[in-house]
Structure 1
């Protein structure tokens, strides 16, 4: 249950922040955002604020911001249709009632001859049971009413495609960007809560299974010298220890103000990240809390996680990694359970890593992802004209299908690894 709650909170936060980035920059560009959704599939909760419907959907596999103009309008009125019209105080059409006109007895029913709801914003037609043609101007925020559900019209200047290249690019880039911002914020908070390592030869904690505790070292001890070689930083001290596994070293220790003594410690062997044998004694550095240090840590760790993920992607491309090394929803769920058991601070780091990963994956130039759509905007900038919408839509559809296929393969691998 703890794992399930953790994964819901983490994924909900990552998707919310990602889609919030799209929403904020789309609205700043003047794009009509019809829906802000967390999840896919049937709606389980929704409310409307301003022009946008905010929804939570059944399948927690992502989210979306539905911007006007990205897809063909779901409601189309053609010549010959009979629709009902209601008007605002300025005499402009406020509602276009598609069906169930009997539920709106005050509406004026016309048979449409011509209608433009994108540029000139008017409707022209015959009033039922009367002679002559009438033309009405349509308010730019008028609504369709279909099955008693209201949908705001989308004049061309409110559509995604009407905006400048920079505005469209920022509306797309803002989602991944917000994931990086979230990672910086989480890691900054982590740095403040956990404290920042001090680059001085001060003992922070002594591990229970290390040789340092057996030699009597305590938290707060300062290492003055090792085998007669003075040390002034944590890096200098660890370099000496790592270089002498299984070799006795004499540590000169200062404890408090006046107490100085020497102890002999034999560092244990450990294989490092570079697969080289190193010496360890079982101590961690002392920490301090500072706002500047925490912020610096947040940016530095986000950068390091980003480089690590790019390195992993490079290894995947060159064949050093295979699909078996990738983790899908099942794998992430399992890893999250393990991380949650390690404590809240470790879970914070894991959330930051997932946020960076989500940002990078979405920026890859793959169809159906933000990066793929940014690639089409870049092509438009080079060509001086947009790609045919139908061709672009087909590319994104194929890309989405391939991504779903990859997700199925990775999920199957996860099941094999964790459950079979």
Structure 2
């Protein structure tokens, strides 16, 4: 029993770490490019829920929160700031000596403030509000960085247009959106490279020739470096395997001879090798390769794996839509179960699954569905084509509906994952 307990503790740590790293780095991508683009970023949080501790630097409140499954970033002006204060609703406000609004919020959160009814609000271009007071409708300027009380203890600032996401040109807004998925792709490449550095990467240098195999018959020797196959360059082991399979295929069912060029003692030699078929119908020639842990080889191979897995994942999305293979989908519970299974095989298996999850998170977010990064990019594309902005309130409503549907879909997938576990 103690061993089982230890395993599940390790599994819980692995699940939290994988989700936290993948999601937090996604949000950090948005955060970093937003900051570099001059957008005010009031909040960057690691985790969700109540704050364990926080600090403020450069106008941003950084916090670590109780539930460590991810994180979030809050950027000024992602949606029009006035949407917080609908016309006809009550608002509490505080004024400075110049009769500028310095604090806004719900009356229940600001019991000592003035209270009025919003009649007009422009918090994007002019930073002003018209409020119906006991003396009639009055128009107030809103001081830049006036605080909006989200609750009795938490607030965010109202900023001028040049510090809002909506106030930035299209290319900067697109860069901010793309930065999240790009961070996921970079993380996946780094993790794949780390795994390759630990496990090693096969090279095209022969380490062993199996006896009584086509390679031995052809005269191949340990130390030979395979540089060409059928007069086409070979760059890595995976390419060699794929070329052997495709180059030896025939309509008769018998493998075709291959011209393999090796470098031996600084001299190129070309030999003819006819593969033999395994019981599974796979052509082989009977060699093992030298494995290298050199980062100069393992890091590029990690990013090559990123490109390969991206293509395979896109093919999977295609099959999902065309062939309705929805059983292949997994939600958070299914992903957590996969991570748990990988814990049984060791640390580096968890690192690999973290890379796969990061890659999938980046690709999924680029799907042009409202509420996802891809949906926001779609609206930017529409704006580019139309030459004018889509009504922010209409866009916000579309994203809200998209988010609601995604949450419903997530609930359905989670229910299915849970029923499969028990």
Q: Equivalents in 1 of 2:330, 2:404: separation in Å?
A: 19
- State yes or no: 1:328 paired with 2:336: no
2:314 is matched with 310
Q: Equivalents in 2 of 1:85, 1:394: separation in Å?
A: 32
- State yes or no: 1:96 paired with 2:103: yes
Q: Equivalents in 1 of 2:145, 2:421: separation in Å?
A: 53
Q: Equivalents in 2 of 1:388, 1:94: separation in Å?
A: 26
Q: Contact 2:94 / 2:101 at 8 angstroms: preserved in 1?
A: no
Q: Contact 2:50 / 2:66 at 8 angstroms: preserved in 1?
A: yes
2:5 is matched with none
The Cα RMSD (Å) is: 4.2
Instruction: Count the aligned residue pairs.
Output: 362
1:15 aligned to 23, 47, 55, which one? 23
1:347–1:165 distance in 2 versus 1, CA, 3 Å: same
Q: Contact 1:93 / 1:142 at 8 angstroms: preserved in 2?
A: no
1:180 aligned to 159, 179, 185, which one? 185
- State yes or no: 1:47 paired with 2:54: yes
1:199 is matched with 204
1:25 is matched with 33
1:286 is matched with 290
1:226 is matched with 216
Q: Structure 2 matches for 1:258-269, cutoff 5 A?
A: 269=278
1:277–1:151 distance in 2 versus 1, CA, 3 Å: closer
1:33 counterpart SS class? coil
Displacement after TM superposition at 1:13 (Å):
0.2
Q: Equivalents in 2 of 1:313, 1:81: separation in Å?
A: 47
Q: Equivalents in 2 of 1:325, 1:78: separation in Å?
A: 46
TM-score using structure 1 length: 0.71
Displacement after TM superposition at 1:358 (Å):
0.5
1:373–1:191 distance in 2 versus 1, CA, 3 Å: same
Q: Based on CA coordinates, which of the two structures has the bigger radius of gyration?
A: 1
1:96–1:399 distance in 2 versus 1, CA, 3 Å: closer
1:324–1:58 distance in 2 versus 1, CA, 3 Å: farther
Q: Contact 1:93 / 1:137 at 8 angstroms: preserved in 2?
A: yes
Q: Contact 2:16 / 2:69 at 8 angstroms: preserved in 1?
A: no
Q: Equivalents in 2 of 1:82, 1:229: separation in Å?
A: 88
1:418 aligned to 407, 416, 421, which one? 421
The one-character-per-residue Cα deviations of 1:335-378 (angstroms, maximum 9, x if unpaired) are 11221222222222221111111100000111110001100100
1:36 is matched with 44
Q: Equivalents in 2 of 1:101, 1:345: separation in Å?
A: 52
Q: Equivalents in 2 of 1:93, 1:197: separation in Å?
A: 68
168-177 or 65-74, which moves further after superposition?
65-74
Which ranges of structure 2 fall in alignment gaps of 5 or more residues?
1-7, 230-239, 249-275
TM-score using structure 2 length: 0.71
Displacement after TM superposition at 1:149 (Å):
4.3
Displacement after TM superposition at 1:94 (Å):
9.1
Q: Structure 2 matches for 1:8-407, cutoff 5 A?
A: 8-40=16-48, 42-50=49-57, 51-56=59-64, 63-73=71-81, 76=85, 83-86=93-96, 95-96=102-103, 118-120=124-126, 139-144=143-148, 147=152, 149-203=154-208, 225-230=215-220, 232-233=224-225, 269=278, 271=280, 276-277=281-282, 285-319=289-323, 322-407=325-410
1:183–1:135 distance in 2 versus 1, CA, 3 Å: same
Q: Equivalents in 2 of 1:188, 1:278: separation in Å?
A: 29
Q: Equivalents in 1 of 2:285, 2:174: separation in Å?
A: 50
The one-character-per-residue Cα deviations of 1:376-410 (angstroms, maximum 9, x if unpaired) are 10000000111122322222222222222222232
Displacement after TM superposition at 1:286 (Å):
2.6
2:61 counterpart SS class? strand
Q: Equivalents in 2 of 1:389, 1:82: separation in Å?
A: 25
1:337–1:150 distance in 2 versus 1, CA, 3 Å: closer
Q: Equivalents in 1 of 2:377, 2:309: separation in Å?
A: 23
